[in-house]
Amino acid sequence: MSSTAIYPGTFDPFTNGHLDVLERAVNLFDRVDVVMAENSRKQSLFSVEERLDMIREVVSVFPNVGVDVLHDGLLADYARTVGAKAIVRGVRQVKDFEYELQMSLLNRHLYPEVTTVFLMPNVKYTYVASSIIREVALLGGDVSKFVHPYVLEMLLRKRVERKGKP
């Protein structure tokens, strides 16, 4: 029986840290679906369409990776609908863990058949988070080591767009 995992996140934008986690998940599961979802605690820089476009570009090299969006509703319900065995989450530091543990236990409560799998990216991505990448890029810093060239282009475009605003 084939195993499907979902890799959810806000991905605002998708970073090389996310890519590292995805590559590890691809080695563990037959299929991985990257699911872009909204986080009620965050306001995003990129629109849903922009984020999907970037993710599709970055993951196009993997034959067994799909991309989907969860417009609203619970991730646990989405996992049940697609028959996902696992939810993949990247954990960089101990401070990530409290929130992740809370989410994983709640997701298990909502859909007991799903298991959250925590994967650690390469240590070089320990301090790479979408929020800091956005901030540095919008202030003109070089983030080319941390994002795919297409994501970099989108960040630069966003910077120009925002500079034009009063």
Among 141, 115, 116, 117, CA closest to 128:
141
9 forms part of the interface with ligand PNS (CB under 6 A)? yes
**Closer residue to ligand PNS (CB): 72 or 142:** 72
In angstroms, the CA 162 to CA 135 distance is 12
What Cα–Cα distance (Å) separates residue 68 from each residue in 9, 18, 45? Answer: 11, 15, 19
Q: Kindly give the interhelix angle for 149-163 and 48-59, rounded to the nearest 10 degrees.
A: 160
Q: Which of 3, 28, 30, 39 binds ligand PNS (CB under 6 A)?
A: 39
Q: How far is the CB of 68 from ligand PNS (least distance, A)?
A: 12
Asked if 82 touches ligand PNS (CB under 6 A), the answer is: no
**Residue 69 is a binding residue for ligand PNS (CB under 6 A):** no
Applying CB under 6 A, among 69, 91, 106, 136 the residue interacting with ligand PNS is: 106
The residue whose two tokens read 């629109």 is: 47
Collect all residues with Cβ–Cβ distance below 8 Å to 85 and sequence separation of at least 6: 3, 4, 5, 29, 113, 114, 115
Decide if 42 is catalytic.
Answer: yes
Judged by CB under 6 A, the chain residues 116 through 145 that form the site for ligand PNS are: none
Catalytic residue status for 92:
yes
Active site residues: 18, 42, 92, 130
Residues of this chain that interact with ligand PNS (CB under 6 A) are 8-10, 37, 39, 42, 70, 74-75, 103, 106-107
